[in-house]
Amino acid sequence: MFTKKEGAMMRRVGFATGRFAALLIVVSAAACTQKTPPQLSPAGAAGYHGYRVLQAVAAIQDTTIMGERNGVIPAKDARIVVQATGIAGKAGSELANALRVGNAATDAKTRALGIIRQALLDVPGQLSPETQKLLEPYFSVALSAISILE
């Protein structure tokens, strides 16, 4: 019915098909085991962004403390910045509590965000031009992170 050559070709095709099926199984298994991040609720997502805001605030604080220690930032400026970061930190904790309570706490969330925003907005204008120039990128990051939440 088939020539020898045809039979050999059909065997090879069969073998290739088998390998293809094996490949499909491996790829599907890999796709299934790929870890997908769990979905956060809107409150959880707000917490995530809030955390990123506080990371930026922590960077401002650390840079300021280090700058003051190394004589790059005057103590007067450092005091203003550290005070503001302290206020923002407290408001961050309040934000976490507000988000935990749920949607009913929208006012508390807005208030906490307002405090963080105001604390950061007021600071650059009170600093010496040198310090202002040094910390400006950090404040921009923090403020743009807040704008995502508002």
Partner 1 sequence: MTPAILAIINTALPLLITLWKQARSADPNAATYTDEQMFEMLQSKGDEIANKAAVWLAEHPKV
- Using the rule CB under 8 A, which residue among 83, 103, 126, 128 binds partner 1? 83
State how far the Cα of 146 lies from the Cα of 109, in Å rounded to an integer: 12
State how far the Cα of 98 lies from the Cα of 108, in Å rounded to an integer: 6
Beta carbons of 149 and 53 less than 8 angstroms apart: yes
**CB-side neighbour CA atoms (13 Å) of 25:** 6
Among 47-55, 103-111, 121-129, 135-143, the segment contacting partner 1 (CB under 8 A) = 47-55
Report if residue 111 touches partner 1, rule: CB under 8 A.
no
Among 91-99, 103-111, 130-138, 139-147, the segment contacting partner 1 (CB under 8 A) = 91-99
Among 22-30, 103-111, 127-135, 137-145, the segment contacting partner 1 (CB under 8 A) = 22-30
